[in-house]
Structure 1
Amino acid sequence: MNLYRNLSDHELVELLKSADDAAYEEIYKRYWALLFRHACKILHNEDEAKDVVQDLFTALWTKRREINLNSSLSSYLYSAIRYKIFDLIDKHKVRSRYLASLESFIQEGQYSSEDAIREKQLAVLIEKEIAGLPEKMREVFELSRKSNLSHKEIAKKMGISDQTVKKQIYNAIKILRPKFGLFLIILRFFSAN
């Protein structure tokens, strides 16, 4: 019998703060489906809703010691998911504006200061997403993309195999591509010129 099922949200949060995996799992079981449905109602996209909820639970674990509940755990989680959804919507707006300005640039050959501002905003979003990658994956990805090191050079520098380097880069791109897709390539093109 799972003893954690009988604990209150407050008790679970206290256990979570002390890195109790079972308390985290119980909170996940209690709230994942509810938060997912709430995110789906707002986003109308199941994949994005899953990503947002997963981001929330990842943040809940990584920032567990900082949790300070002024109300119930459900209120805390619903507020957090709304914040993440609004953040995602803002990112979509920046991407949409950037795509519109890129289309204008392609059609008219004009690149305005507003385009430069949008490019910088997108660069900040991309850097934020890269910073959110797991530590080893982020380090491999940055050595590859920013320092332009070969897989062999990265493997030697980090003391890991070429295959591990390839896998880490593949996984980083797999995480970043759905969020930015073509924008990563475009941004790289503009920053190279």
Structure 2
Amino acid sequence: MSLPTAECILKIKDGDTAAFRELFYTYKDALFCYACKLSRSSELAEEAVQEVFMKVWINRQQLNPDLSIQSYLYTATRHCIFNILKKAALDASLRQAIFYHQPTAANTTDDEIRNAELQRVKTKVLDLLPPQRKLIFCLSRIDGLSHEEIAQKLGISKSTVKDQIVKASRFLKQELHTHHDIIIPMLVLTMGVTTTSH
């Protein structure tokens, strides 16, 4: 199949699905291989390629037929993979920092079953945080950034940063408390949160 021409890109901008399919089938395999090399994961590579083409279609009006669509697709795929890997690393680090610093327990079957269930609950609760609140919480607890640094990085006020961290901490404690009281002392110590009444 020949490479899509500027005319093909113009058709895509006009909503031509046949032209979009031509673009997709021309580049999907090459982009998948490229994404696999970057991520070393076929699942992440497939996710990235799908996301890239989805964004191409959604933002098709912004395509420039005078520029190389190939360069655009490879750049978009690279950025997508990096974002996916960054998010995965951030989520893993957050779970590790918050939820796995537990006191050593006796190695009994009951303890193992109990801890396994607690880990399941805590992971589920963590994912309930809104994306921005979770990001702010990560930057504070994982990256160790100050409120001012987070505010500058995200373009928000210091008061907003503080408010989001407090709300995230309270939410996590409250949700976990509904599942098991034993989590609370560990969570408070790990987060460095002081309980206050408002």
- Measured against the shorter chain, the TM-score band is 0.5 to 0.7
Residues 126, 87 of structure 1: CA spacing in aligned structure 2 closer, same or farther, 3 A cutoff? Answer: farther
> Does the Cα contact within 8 Å between 1:9 and 1:27 map onto a contact in 2?
no
Structure 2: tracts of 5 or more residues without a match? 105-125, 136-170, 178-198
* Structure 1 residue 90 corresponds to structure 2 residue 97: no
Aligned to 1:58: 54
* Structure 1 residue 124 corresponds to structure 2 residue 124: no
Residues 18, 47 of structure 1: CA spacing in aligned structure 2 closer, same or farther, 3 A cutoff? Answer: same
Aligned to 2:180: none
- Structure 1 distance, partners of 2:46, 2:174, is 32
Aligned to 1:33: 29
> Does the Cα contact within 8 Å between 1:16 and 1:23 map onto a contact in 2?
yes
- Structure 2 distance, partners of 1:35, 1:126, is 33
Q: Which runs of 4+ in 1 moved over 2 A?
A: 5-9, 68-71, 102-108, 125-128, 188-193
Q: TM-score of the superposition, structure 2-length normalised?
A: 0.52
Give the letter aligned to residue 98 of structure 1. Answer: L
> Does the Cα contact within 8 Å between 2:10 and 2:65 map onto a contact in 1?
no
Residues 190, 60 of structure 1: CA spacing in aligned structure 2 closer, same or farther, 3 A cutoff? Answer: farther
**Structure ID, larger Rg:** 2
> Does the Cα contact within 8 Å between 2:4 and 2:22 map onto a contact in 1?
no
Give the letter aligned to residue 91 of structure 1. Answer: K
Structure 1: tracts of 5 or more residues without a match? 109-118, 129-187
Q: CA RMSD in A?
A: 3.2
- Structure 2 distance, partners of 1:9, 1:86, is 29
- Structure 2 distance, partners of 1:52, 1:85, is 6
Q: Which secondary structure does the structure 2 equivalent of 1:68 belong to?
A: coil
Q: Percent identity?
A: 26
Larger helix share, 1 or 2: 1
- Structure 2 distance, partners of 1:11, 1:126, is 44
